[in-house]
Amino acid sequence: MCGRFVSVSPPDEVARYFDALPPQGVLEPNWNVAPTDDAYVVLVDDGERRMAVHHWGLVPFWAKDPSVGSRMINARAEGLADKGAFKRAFRERRCLVPVDGFYEWQAVPGQKAKQPYFIHRRDDQPLAFAGLWETWRGAERARDDRLRSATIITTTANETMAPIHDRMPVVLPASDWDEWLDPDNADVDLLGRLLVPAPADLLVLRRVGSAVGNVRNDGPRLIEAVAPAEHDSLPFGDGP
């Protein structure tokens, strides 16, 4: 799964990286983006690729209450085309979620507390998570007051992530961005074949402190490496 991520790169730089128009709204840098926070997405709207700000946690158009989004921060790639909450967005409203890295927690034998890791690209370029987006307008909202939300698609873990967790976000290479973002592409079989684990050598892991577990904590200290415990077989800091 993906329950926290980092989004600190300047949005104009991220927009250039994705060959997209910059967002109209600018978010503060956040080293601990949590479910229901606002986050950037990249999508195609009116024929133009652009960045936008969406609520993290998909709220389907048919939802009675936006709180349902807190349970839809991730969408499993398997069977996506058949799942009621996601199938329409999968056909019509796909996006990328640009992040600087993300966190995952490893279960530690004999201990209640899990060990957090910061995961990022080996070359420190932004990660492009495959995502879906929706718009929602409840009965009490004005016609032009619509909540735009998004979810991150996950798949099985690759060899790098497997020691930490059995799931990971789908990371799309630049060669797949046009195909994924094309709103006229409704070939769900073809799109589904893009939702595979990233190459094992794309990502590196960094063991970090427990402060990231509190959503109120923020700042660059959250991604600083910490020394391994005696039981830990993974390397200190970033991987090789």
- Single out the catalytic residue among 2, 78, 92, 140: 2
2 is catalytic: yes
- Single out the catalytic residue among 13, 78, 95, 104: 104
The stretches of 46-197 forming alpha helices (DSSP H) are 87-92, 177-181, 188-192
In a 10 Å sphere around its CB, with 0-12 CB exposed, 13-18 middle and 19+ buried, how is residue 158 labelled? middle
Phi and psi at residue 215, to the nearest 5°: -65, -15
Q: How many CA atoms lie within 13 A of 193 on its CB side?
A: 4
3-state secondary structure 52-67: EEEEECCCCCCCCCHH
Q: Which residues are catalytic?
A: 2, 104
